[in-house]
Structure 1
């Protein structure tokens, strides 16, 4: 069985941003990402998107990306789950 998207996304953020498992596990739906976490800068956005495609087996088109996706962990998770479901 594949790990839930939430688990994979937390592991991805822990790896890419160097958050460590505890900080990644502590993220809530309202946790701010871009502009809130110093590690989550514009360079990290591109890396996170690429890793999401690789780890989740999805394709993300440029026109699907907007700043709102990276405002909170909840927004990023909802986006990832929609992509995995194919909707």
Structure 2
């Protein structure tokens, strides 16, 4: 799995009381017992506690998003922010 898979999985267990052994790549957020408010809370936790960038867009995560898709979206947002920061270069 990817580098953010375990940290995000641990976050779900710690903050949302989801047994980590039940979190599988194919599990949807709804399967994990999440609702729309919990998804917003998850994005805040990822940003505040793990320092991760959250995906941009109207609905970056939905109840039908699988755990693997959620991790991939967060990783893509991380890569995009790193490439923007890297291409900015030093200030003049």
Normalization by structure 2: what TM-score? 0.66
Report 1 or 2 for greater relative contact order, CA contacts < 8 Å, sequence distance ≥ 6: 1
**Are 1:46 and 2:40 an aligned pair?**
yes
* Uncovered stretches (5+) of structure 2, i.e. residues with no partner: 82-92
Partner of 1:86: helix, strand, or coil? helix
Equivalent in the alignment of 2:10: 11
Root-mean-square deviation (CA, aligned residues, Å) is 2.5
**Larger helix share, 1 or 2:** 1
1:69 and 1:79 in contact (8 A); partners too: no
1:30-41 matches, cutoff 5 A = 30-34=26-30, 36-37=31-32, 39-41=33-35
Normalization by structure 1: what TM-score? 0.69
How many equivalent pairs are there? 79
Following superposition, the deviation at residue 79 of structure 1 comes to 0.5
Following superposition, the deviation at residue 63 of structure 1 comes to 2.7
Q: Over residues 26-84 of structure 1, what are the superposed CA-to-partner deviations in whole Å (9 max), with x where a residue is unaligned? A: x12x22223x23x2012211110001112332343663534558521111011111122
Mean CA deviation greater in 50-59 or 61-70: 61-70
2:8 and 2:46 in contact (8 A); partners too: yes
